[in-house]
Amino acid sequence: MATLRDILRRINSVKSTRQITKAMKMVAAAQLRKAQLQAEQSRPYAEKMSDMLGHLSAVATDKLSHPYFEKREVEKQTLVVMTSDRGLCGAFNSNLIRNAEHWLKERDPEKVELVCVGRRGYQYFKKREWKIVEAYIEFNAEMKFDMVRGMVNQLTTRFVTGQTDEIYLLYAKFFTTAKNVPTFEKYLNIDKPESHGDGETVGAYIFEPTPDDIFSALLPRYALIRLQSALADSFASEHATRMMAMTLATNNAGEMIDSLTLQYNKARQASITTEILEVVSGAEALRG
Amino acid sequence: MYRLSIVTPEKVVYEEDVASIIAPGTVGYLGILSNHAPIITSLKPGVLNIKDNAGSEINFAISGGFLENSSNICTILADSAEFANEIDLERARESLARAKQRLQNAAGEIDTGRAEAAFERAKNRVTLAKKD
C-alpha cells in the first residue's frame, strides 16, 4: 500500500496539473470567443458575394471566361489540410488526418500533393512521405490577413499555371462549441455558380463597367474570402475542441483528487488505528 | 426609402433603411434613390455618402468593392469601410505621406499597383476626415 507521503505527493501533482488545464481552458475560451465572432461575421460577406456571382453569371452566361473557372481533365489534385499548430485539443487533428488519409489512399500517390496548414498535419504527412508542396505553420490559430493573401496567391498560381488541376480544402467546419465536422470543399476550379432569380429581373441588370470587368475584379476576392472563412472556421473549431478537452481534463483531475483524498484519509485513519493499538497493547504489557 | 447594407470581410458595418446614397463607382460617382433599376457595379476608393430617412448625412470611406441594387435592396461589398468620425486624421496623414514616398522612390521593386491603391485609399481618408 502506498505510504501517506506518496499519496500526498500525487495529490499535489494532480492539483498543479488541474491548475494548468484550467488556465488553458480559460485561454481557449477567450480565443474561441474571438475566433467565433470572426467566423460568424465574415459569413455575410461570403454569402452576399456568391449571390452576386449568381446574378452575374445568369446574365453573362457562356461568354464568361476566367482562369479560375477552367475545368480541365483531372490529372493532378491538391488537398489543403487545415490542422492545428499545437496539440492538447482532443481528437481535432486525428479526425482531420484520418479524413485526409482516406482521401489520399483513394488516389494515386504520384498525382496528389498536399498543402499543410498547421504543424501537426505537416509533421504527420511528412513522416509518411506524402508530397507536401507548401506548409503554413505560423498561424497559431489566429487570422493573419497577410498570410491568407499569400496563401491565396500561391494556390491560385499553382492552379492557373497548370501545376495542379483541382484544389480541395479539408477543414473542421464550425457548428457549435461541441460540434465541428471535417469538411471537404472544392476550392478551384470554381464551378460556375447556379443562376438564381428569374430571368426577367436579372435581364434588366445594368452593369458598370461590363460584366467581364466586374467578374475579373470579383473572383480574386471570392477566392480570398472562401479561404479566409474556411480558416476562420478551422480556428474556431480548434479553440472549441481545445476548450472542451481542457474542461474534461480539469474535471477528471478533480475526480482524481477526490479519490486520492479518500485514499489518503483512509490510510491516515489506518495508521492512527495502528498507533493506538500499539500504545494500548504497550500499556497492557506494562501493567501485565 | 430602401434597405442598404454595407458588408466587409470583417463584419456587417451598416444595415439601415436609407433615403439615398452617392457611391464611388469605377466609372464615376453614382446616386441611388428608391426604385433604382437593378444594377451591379464595381467601386473605387472614395467617399460613400448616405442620406438616411431623417435627412441627416453619413459618410463612409470605402476602399473599393462592389455594389448591387435590386428591388430596393442595396448591398455594398466593400474591402473596407470606415465611418468618417472614426478616422484618425493624424494617422491618415501619416499613411498618405508614406504612400507618397513609396511611389516616388519606386524603382520597379515594389508592386506599383498596390502602392497606388494604398495612395488612393490614404488620400480618400484624409479628404473625408478633413471634411467633417
CB contact under 8 Å between A208 and B75, yes or no, is no
Which residues of A are known to be catalytic? 89
CB contact under 8 Å between B40 and A55, yes or no, is yes
CA distance A5 to chain B (A): 56
CA distance A207 to chain B (A): 5
- Give the DSSP per-residue string, chain B: -EEEEEE-SS-EEEEEEEEEEEEEETTEEEEE-TTPPPEEEEEEEEEEEEEETTS-EEEEEEEEEEEEEETTEEEEEES-EEEGGG--HHHHHHHHHHHHHHHHT--SSS-HHHHHHHHHHHHHHHHHHHH-
Measured between CB atoms, does A221 come within 8 Å of chain B? yes
Residues of A in contact with B5 (CB under 8 A): 48
Closest listed residue to residue A118, CA positions, set A237, A276, A272, A288 = A237
| Residue-level pLDDT at B110 | 61
Q: Chain B residue closest to A214 (CA)?
A: B42
Average pLDDT for B20-46: 91
CA distance B26 to chain A (A): 7
Average pLDDT for A102-116: 92
- Asked whether the beta carbons of A238 and A119 are under 8 A apart, the reply is no
CB within 8 Å of chain B, chain A residues 159-218:
201-202, 204-209, 211, 213-214, 217-218
Helix-strand-coil percent breakdown of chain A, rounded to 5? Answer: 65, 15, 20
Q: Kindly state the cell numbers that stand for A157.
A: 498560381
Task: With both helix axes pointing from N to C terminus, report the angle between A211-287 and A92-105 in degrees, rounded to the nearest 10.
Answer: 130
For each of the domains in chain A, give its residue range(s) and CATH number, in order of start: 4-24+248-287 (1.10.287.80), 26-245 (3.40.1380.10)
CB contact under 8 Å between A42 and B10, yes or no, is yes
| Residue-level pLDDT at B111 | 66
For each of the domains in chain B, give its residue range(s) and CATH number, in order of start: 2-84 (2.60.15.10), 87-131 (1.20.5.440)
CB contact under 8 Å between B9 and A207, yes or no, is no
pLDDT digits (tens, 9 = 90+) for A222-256: 999 999 989 999 999 999 999 999 999 999 999 99
| Residue-level pLDDT at A47 | 87
CB contact under 8 Å between A207 and B25, yes or no, is no
CB contact under 8 Å between A52 and B66, yes or no, is yes
- Among B4, B8, B10, the strongest candidate for a mutation testing the A interface, having the largest count of A CBs within 10 A, is B10
Cα A243 from Cα A119, distance rounded (Å): 19
Contacts of A187 (CB under 8 A, 6+ apart): A80, A155, A167, A168, A169, A223, A226, A227
pTM of this prediction?
A: 0.81
What ipTM goes with this model? 0.77
Going by pLDDT thresholds of 50, 70 and 90, the confidence category of residue A199 is: very low
pLDDT digits (tens, 9 = 90+) for B54-84: 888 888 888 889 999 988 999 999 988 888 7
